Amino acid sequence: MSSSSPDSSTAAVGENITPTSSATIEVLLCDGCRCPVASARDVLKAEETVPTWKKHVYSYDVDLFMNGSAPLQAYSATNPSARRFDLLRVAPCVSVYAATPRHTAEDVHSTDDALHEKQEHHSAAATPPAAPSLVAPSFMKCESKVYSSEHSFFPGYAWCFSSCGNCGAFLGWGFASTSRLRSAQRRRRGAQARQGNSAGVESDTRGGAERAGDDDDHTPVLATAAAGDGNPPSASAETAVSSLSSSTTAPQPQPMTAGADGGGGGGDACEFRCTGVEPDFIGLIITQCTGSATYPVAAFLRDVECAAMRQRRRARIRALRRTLRLFLVQMRNGYDAYAILHEFQAIEHLLYTSPPPLPPSSTAASTSTSHGTLAILTDRDDDAVPARLHAVVEAARIAVARQSSSNTAAATGDHSISSSSSSNTATRDGNADD
C-alpha cells in the first residue's frame, strides 16, 4: 500500500485515470443502499500472522465475483454462541490504480482466440501495479473512539464498529493493533499530564481572585420540551418514536461479547478510549455486501469524490432524526405521528439509494432524471440534505406548537367559564341575602 495521504486531492484522479465508457472495476456494494464500500483491490491477502489466527478463524479462498478473477482471501469466525461470520480483510482506505481496468463483455469477441486473449488480459489485470494513483479515505465509517480486545476474532487486534458511510448500515468491524493502541494511550496520558501541570501552575499564579463569585455562575441549564403542556404522550406516539429509533437499512451493530459476535479469547480483554488510532484493516462481513464485477470506473471515481460529502450528510440526517424524535414523542395524535415518520423514512431511503449529486457544470446534470434522481431530492443544502427533510421536521414542530396552543386555549376557556360561574353564584347569593 502506498504511503500517500488519505487526504490526497481528488483532482489527481482525472489526471492519472482517463477511463473509457466501457471501463469497469470489481467492487463490493453495501447491501442496503448499493453504495460502494471497497474495491476488489482493497481486499488484503494472507499475512505471516495467519498461523496464530487459526485457533480462532479459518482462512479460505472465495470466488465472490464468479467471473474467473483471482479468488479473495476470506476468514470464517465462529463466536461462543456458534454464530458464524465470513469476513474479508479490507484496507482502511480506497486505492484507485492507473492501470487500465478490464472492459465489459461487449468488448470480448466470440472466437476461441479472443477468449484466450481475454483470459490472459484478466490474469495480468489481477496483479495491482506498484503504486496507486490515488489513496482516498475509506467508504466505511469506523467508530474508532472506542476499541475493545474482548473476544476479538484476530488475536493481537482490538475491534470497533464499522458502518456504511452513506446509509449507516452495520458492515463489520475495524481492527487495530493493541500495541498501537497502548502506545497511543500512553502518549495521550502524557499529554494530559503535561496540560494538567501547566494548568496547575497557571492557576496558582492567578490565586483565588477568580474564584470569587463562582457560586453565581453555577446556574443549571435545563433542556425542556418544546410543547410544555405537561401532558404525557400517547402510546401510539411512543410506538412511532421507537420505530424511528430502530429504523435502518440493515441490521444494527452487535458487539463481539456476551454471545453476540465474539470469536477469540477474552481473557486479556482491554478497552481503549479516545486514542485517535485508525484501524489497520476492516473486517467486512460478506453477507452484508454484494459483489459487482462490472461497476463503471467513472461512477466509482465519482463515489470516491462524494464519500466525504455522504458522511457529512449522514451526520446531518442523524441530527435531524434526533430532533424529529423530540417532536414525535410529544404528539398525542398517533396517526399524524406515523404519517410524518413515514414521509421522513421514505425520503431518507430515496436519498441513500440515489446516485451522488452531479456538479452543476457537468453536462450530465441536465439528464439527472435518467439516473433515477427524483425531483424531491434536487433541492439540497450545502451538505446535500434535501430541503424536504427539513420541511418534514418543521411540520412536526408546527404540529406540536399547535397542540400546545390548543391546550393553552382550552385551559384559558375552562378558567373563564369557571370564573364566570363563580361570579354568577356570588351574585345570586347576594340577591338572596337582600
Domain extents for the chain?
11-109+117-186+233-361+370-395
**Over 50: is that where the pLDDT of 43 sits?**
yes
**Over 80: is that where the pLDDT of 40 sits?**
yes
Total-model pTM: 0.66
pLDDT band at 227 (very low <50, low <70, confident <90, very high): very low
Lowest-pLDDT range of 104-113, 207-216, 320-329: 104-113
pLDDT band at 102 (very low <50, low <70, confident <90, very high): very low
Structure confidence at residue 230 (pLDDT):
39
Structure-block grid coordinates of residue 325:
424524535
Structure confidence at residue 3 (pLDDT):
40
Closest CA to 104 of 94, 92, 118, 87: 118
Structure confidence at residue 222 (pLDDT):
28
Radius of gyration of the chain (CA): 29
Backbone angles phi, psi at 291, to 5 degrees: -85, 140
Structure confidence at residue 420 (pLDDT):
59
Q: How much is the average pLDDT of 178-197?
A: 83
Structure confidence at residue 269 (pLDDT):
62
| Rounded Cα distance, 90 and 40, in Å | 9
Lowest-pLDDT range of 14-28, 117-131, 139-153: 117-131
pLDDT band at 55 (very low <50, low <70, confident <90, very high): confident
Structure confidence at residue 104 (pLDDT):
41
Structure confidence at residue 144 (pLDDT):
86
What lies within 8 Å, CB to CB, of 188 at 6+ separation is 274, 275, 276
In the chain, the percentage of residues whose pLDDT exceeds 90 is 24
**Over 80: is that where the pLDDT of 417 sits?**
no
**Over 50: is that where the pLDDT of 247 sits?**
yes
Structure confidence at residue 115 (pLDDT):
36
**Over 60: is that where the pLDDT of 122 sits?**
no
Structure confidence at residue 287 (pLDDT):
92
pLDDT, tens only, 369-407: 444 455 666 777 777 888 889 999 999 999 999 988 887
Structure confidence at residue 86 (pLDDT):
92
